[in-house]
Structure 1
Amino acid sequence: MWHYAGRDTAIDLGSATVRMHVEDRGVVCREPSLLARSRRTGAILALGAPALRMVGRDPDVRLVRPIREGAPTETDEAEYLMRQLVRIHHRRRLMARPRLVITVPSGMTSVHYRALQFSAYQAGVRRLTVVPTPIAAAVGMGMTGRGHEIAVIADIGAELTDVGVIAFGGLVTSHTAAVGGADLDRAIIALVKREHGVDLSAEAAEAAKIAVGTVPTLGRHAVRRTVVDGRDLQSGLPRRLILTTSDVQRAIEGPVSRIVEAVHQGLRGCTPEVAGELLAVGITLTGGTSRLPGLEKLIQERTGLGACIGDASGDAAVIGAARVQRTNDSQKPARDVTPHPRLLRTVPQP
C-alpha cells in the first residue's frame, strides 16, 4: 500500500542517539543526536555520524546537540534534525508528512512540550503524539499484555534516568533525574585531568568506560586495562596513558550512586497495594547506560528488588511507540499490547 503523506513514524529522541521506526520497515535509523554547523556561515554541514567525524578535525565546525535531557533545547536545530531524518528515510524530499509518535521523559515540563510541539509541526508532521519513555519501553518489550499488569522500567540514558511504575497501562508513579552515561564520561575526564594532568575527549572517556568500566561492588574482580590518548595539560603535546578498572570505578562512583538513588526515588510513590507486588515483578533496566557491568546487581542490592537488563539493543522504546500508535488506530488490542487512554497524549497543531 502506498502511503501518500508518509508512513506512520515513531522517534525516540535520545540525548545521545535518535532512533526512528517507520511503518512496515522497522527501525531504520540509529544516529547520534548531533549536528555540525559552520562557524563562518552558520550553515548545517552534516548530521549524525558524519557530523561526529567532523568534530575536532575542522576548526570551522561547531558541534550542536539539539536534544538535551530528552527534549529540544535548540528548536531550529531539532526541527532540522527531524525534518531531514523523515525525508531521508521516507525517501521523499518535499511531501513526507507522516503521523509521528515521539517518546518523551515522564517528567517533561510544559515548556519542553511546547518546544517539541513547535519543532515537530515545523518539520512537517501532520499529527503528533507523545508517549512517556517508560511506557513505550514496556510496550516494546511486551510487558503490558496479558499476565503483565505491573511493570517497573528504569530507562538509563545519556543524560536522564527515567523511572516509571506501570500498572494496567498507566503510570502509577515516576521520577526523572538528570544523571546518565554522560555524567560517567565527565567523571572519568575529571579524574584523568586531576591525577594525570591529561585532557581526554568525551569519545575517549566513553571508550574507556566501555572497555574497563564496572560498577564499584563488593568482592574481587579481574583488573583490566585500556590505553587512552589525550593532550598533556602542561606541554600541550599528545600523551598516552593506561587506565585500569579501579581507576574508572573510582571516577564513576558518584554518578552511579545518583543513578541508584533515582531508581530508589522512582519506587517511593507506589501505593502499598502496588508496592507489595513489586517484589515479584522486579525492575527492568533499559537504555545504553544500563549495560554498565554490575549496575543491575548494585540496584538489586540497594532496593531489595530483582533487577535485569531487558533491552540489549536500545530499540525497545521506539518499537513500543510504534506499537502504541497501531493500537490506538485500530481501537482494538494489538497482539501482546493492552491499550489504555493514558498511554497517548496527542498534541494539537498550533
Structure 2
Amino acid sequence: MRLSQRVRAIEGSRTARFIPLMAEMRKKGRSVISLAIGEPEFDTPQPVIAATQAALAGQQTRYSEIPGLTALRTALAARLEDCRAANIVVFNGSKQALYTIFQTICDPGDQVIIPLPCWVSFSAQVRLAGGEPVFVPTRDHQLDLDAIGAAIGEHTRAILINSPNNPTGAVYPREDLERIARLAVDHDLYLVADEAYDFFVYDGRSPVSLYDLPAVRERLVVTRSFSKHYAMTGFRVGYAVAPAEAAAAMTRLHSHLTGNVCTFAQHGALAALSMDDELLRQRRIALERKRDLALAQIDGLFPCIRPGGAFYLFADVRGHLGPQETSGDFAARILEKTGVAMVPGEDFGVDGHVRICFAAPEEDLLEAFKRIREVL
C-alpha cells in the first residue's frame, strides 16, 4: 500500500537513531559511553515524583482540560509579565508544541527562516505543515542578522530563534534579539522562540528571552519544556506561550491530536514550579563545571567555540576526516572503535562537526575523551 508523499519525504529524527545502536552494542558486551543524547544525568526531583504518585493515588487519571490543567497554566502565566492562562497551552513536550505552531501559522508555500546549525526536527516540522525552511548560516555560532534580513521575501511567514542553541550552546545577546524583533515587526512576521534550555546559561549571564521585548509579544510564540530543567524527559510536558488567538487555534488542533497531556504528569509539572530554585541553580553550576571540564579535554583535539548555554559542544572535526569522509562517517568510526557516541553535525545542517553532550557523568566525560584521543 502507498504511503503519503508527506510522510515518505520525512526522515525520522536522526539523533534518536543512536539509542538502538547503543543498545545493540551493549547487548554484545561492548562498553558504550553516550555523549549523543541530550538528556541530563540528574534524577527527577523528589517533589515531582511525590506529586505524580499522589495524583495517581488520588485517581487524577482522567482527561484534563485540553490546553492543560488550569492550575498549571495559571502558575506558568504568573511567571511572565502580562500573561494569562489563556496564553498558555500545555503539550507533550516542546517538540509537539513546535509541530502545532507550524501547523497553525503556515500555509503551503510559506517560508520559515531557520539559522544553521539547527535542531534536527525544525525543518521536518515546517515541511509537515506544507512550509519551506529557509536556512541562514550563522557566524561563529552567532546570528548573521544581515543574512537573515536578506533572506526575508514575499513568502516569509516566520523567523525561528533557538537560544540557548541546540547543537552549539550559543546564547544570543539582547541587542541581536532586538534587531530580530524589529525585522519581524517591519515585515509583519511571526517569531517562534524555542527556549527549551533557557535556564542553563553560564558565566554569570542571565538568560534573555524574546518575551522580554513587549513590542513583539503579539506576534511571538515561545516554547519551553520541563524536560531539561527538571530532568523530566520521560514525562513529556512542555508548553507554548502565545497571543490568545494563536493559543486558541493551537488548542483546537491539540484537541484532534492527543486531547490533553497526561494528567498526572501535569501534576508533577505543577509541583516542579513550586520548588525552590536552589536545586536548579546547583544543577546549573554542575553543568557549567562539566562544560569547563569538557572544554579542557577537547583542547588540542578539536577546535570548539566556547558555548554559553545548554549542554553541548559543537566541535570541528574537519582536521580528522579522511578523503570523502563526512561527519556521519567520522561519528560512526569513533563509535565502532571507541564505543563513544556523538551526533554528526550533518544532522544539524552543518557537516564537518560533531555534537558532544557534556551532561554525562564526569567520569564518563574523562573516559570518553581518553578513548577518542587514543584512537586519533
Q: Return the structure number with greater strand share.
A: 1
Structure 1-normalised TM-score? Answer: 0.30
Q: Which structure would you say has the larger RCO, counting Cα contacts within 8 Å and 6 or more residues apart? A: 2
Structure 2-normalised TM-score? Answer: 0.29
